[in-house]
A and B are shown apart, each in its own frame.
Chain A
Amino acid sequence: MRLHFRDVTPAEIRSFAVIVAVVGVVAAAFAWTAGWLSPERLTPARLIAALAPPEGPALGHRRNHAKGICFAGDFEGNGNGTSLSRARVFAPGQYPALGRFNLGTPNPDAVDATVRVRGMGLQIKTPDGEEWRMAMIDPPLFPVSTPQAFHGLLLASASKDPGAMKHFVAANPEFSNFLAWAKTAPWTASFAEEPYHSLDSFIFTESSGAEHAVRWSLLPKAQPVSIALADLAQLGPDFLEREITERIRSAPAEWAMTVTVANSGDVTADPSQPWPADRKTIDLGLLTVRHVEPERDGACREVNFDPTVLPPGMRTSDDPFPAARSSAYRASYDLRTAEEQDYPRKDLRGQP
């Protein structure tokens, strides 16, 4: 047995040093890759922490766009999309759609009239198992250019420093376009009267391999009726969910899906910069919402509307947001699915 301490030779001590160094380097590289050595790295956990209100996140709920209601319906492709993408969903036909109307707030109990941004999560499936998930919002442009700036916006708006927002706007001038929209765009009293925009650009690929940079929008068939904010507030804290439930009980609500194709040279990496209005748009089909149900026991509760879940024939572009959203949405999904007991399903409540 050669392991007695007195037997250890200088050569062996050198060998031990080599072993410690090799193992140490591999372990350090691992720690660096994990971000443990770089606290300034923007991780999904930090992004989600910045979304949480001061009193803490609403357990069991999505960490953003937490207030929402499920819907089901279908998407009917008119065949026009096949000129841009080989995705099965654009072949003429009717495909089941599942989605969620939501409000851009981390608070699932937020008062409707206090939330400026409304959104739609949507999942369309085709018979061959292809799946297209989207998460869209109603402003025509995104507030900021990069995920880092979005994190900065969350920190600035939560900051107690009165100059924080002013600093942020100075450093991120694109944000003033969003502020202008937020101040001047009319409010409506229905999810059915809102447009929902991808804002992020994606790449559509034809069967031939030809590629097109696109953004898409769902444009409401219902005529938007603007309402003063004070009047919306009068309607009650949860009016939007009540309204959409009653509206769809009497008739389905519809949206035209249109896609805008970039010209070469258009910036695809920045969702805060809309493309010029003269860009080619193509009507791809019709989304019809036929059924609405509360989120608590609804089918949309299970779905993570991860914008990087795309069918063959679509992929992400150089826009940095879909990747960042995918990462943060998964972290949110991990948290809320582990917290089901904090947001129990109805069929489990009241049981021993």
Chain B
Amino acid sequence: MTGIRRRFDVLQRSLHWLMAALILAMLFIGVGMVSTVEPKYPSLIATHETLGTIILVLVLIRIVVRLRSGAPGLPTDLPAPIKAAAELTHYALYGFMIAMPLLGWAMQSAARYPVVLYWSQVVPTWLPQSAVAYTWLWRTHRYLAFIFFALVLMHLAAALFHGLVRRDGVFESMAPFSLGGDLKSLPRNDCRRRIGA
């Protein structure tokens, strides 16, 4: 069946939208918690650590699903540089989804901050305490978060561009509703294009 789809399958769409919500929440919680001294600060930290752990698990599942199910192709009339940019953006998004939780976990380890999830589960530390490593890790985590957010905005803008301007079916291949785009302009998922959409 996967050979004739022009949309991502139900599992892929569910994972995409669930993770979209979680990642946006993470970016907002992250930038909010480091700028507040309000009583909500400790619970923001705990939420951030809990969601980060969940995202790390989900992205691993998602990659397996993606490798198994493939993706619909991009419209044949899309210029090559745009196609290349789309592919690169998607590799980067996957990279951030993996790297950000690992960096967060590593920086907490290097500073000996206990990572305690919402249901009181303690996540083990896995790096020796180190001021140098901690400094590098938290700065990287922080700066990559801003790049990640910029990338998410680009992804959103590009999706809406496909949905509202080009109406070429790319938006509809993932969205739960149609903006009137024509899915038939997409090449069928031939299961050869493993990554990039």
Q: Which residues of A contact B (CB under 8 A)?
A: 1-2, 12, 15-16, 18-19, 22-23, 26-27, 29-30, 33-35, 41-45, 47, 129, 131, 147, 302-304, 306, 308-309, 312, 316, 318, 320, 322-324, 326-328, 330, 333-334, 337-338, 340
Nearest B residue (CB) for A20? B157
Nearest CB in chain A to that of B31: its residue:
A34
Per DSSP, chain B at the interface is helix
Q: Which 10 A-B pairs have the closest CB atoms?
A: A15-B164, A337-B131, A324-B37, A35-B35, A34-B31, A323-B41, A338-B135, A33-B32, A19-B160, A327-B37
Are A33 and B157 touching (Cβ within 8 A)?
no
Q: Are B40 and A323 in contact (CB under 8 A)?
A: yes
A328 to B33 CA separation, bound complex (whole angstroms): 11
A-side contacts of B42, CB under 8 Å: 308, 316, 322-323, 326
Does B122 sit within 8 A of A, measured CB to CB?
A: yes
Q: Is the CB of A323 within 8 A of B38?
A: yes
How many CB-defined contacts (below 8 Å) exist between A and B?
A: 102
Q: A23-B160, A44-B36 are in contact. List 11 more A-B contacts (CB 8 A).
A: A18-B160, A19-B160, A30-B27, A30-B28, A30-B31, A43-B36, A47-B37, A302-B131, A323-B42, A324-B38, A338-B131
Asked if A131 contacts B114 (CB within 8 A), the reply is yes
Contact status A12-B28, CB under 8 Å: no
Q: Does B138 contact A (CB under 8 A)?
A: yes
Contacts of A322 in B (CB 8 A): 42
Interface residues on B, range: 35 or more
Q: Are B164 and A18 in contact (CB under 8 A)?
A: yes
Please determine whether B157 and A23 come into contact, CB atoms closer than 8 angstroms. Answer: yes
- Provide the residues of chain A in CB contact with B153, threshold 8 Å: 23, 26-27
Cα A312 to Cα B28 in complex, Å, equals 28
* Cβ-defined contact, B111 with A337, below 8 A: yes
Interchain CB contact under 8 A, B134 and A337: yes
- Distance to closest chain B CB from A162 (angstroms): 29
Q: In the complex, which residue of chain A has the Cβ closest to the Cβ of B159?
A: A19
B68 CB-CB contact with A under 8 Å:
no
Q: Which of B35, B37, B79 contacts A34 (CB 8 A)?
A: B35
Rounded to whole Å, the gap between the CB of B29 and the closest CB of chain A is 8
26 A-B pairs within 8 Å (CB atoms) are namely A2-B166, A15-B164, A15-B165, A19-B160, A19-B164, A26-B156, A29-B28, A30-B27, A30-B31, A33-B28, A33-B31, A35-B35, A35-B36, A44-B34, A303-B112, A306-B113, A316-B39, A322-B42, A323-B38, A323-B42, A324-B41, A326-B45, A327-B36, A334-B135, A337-B131, A337-B135
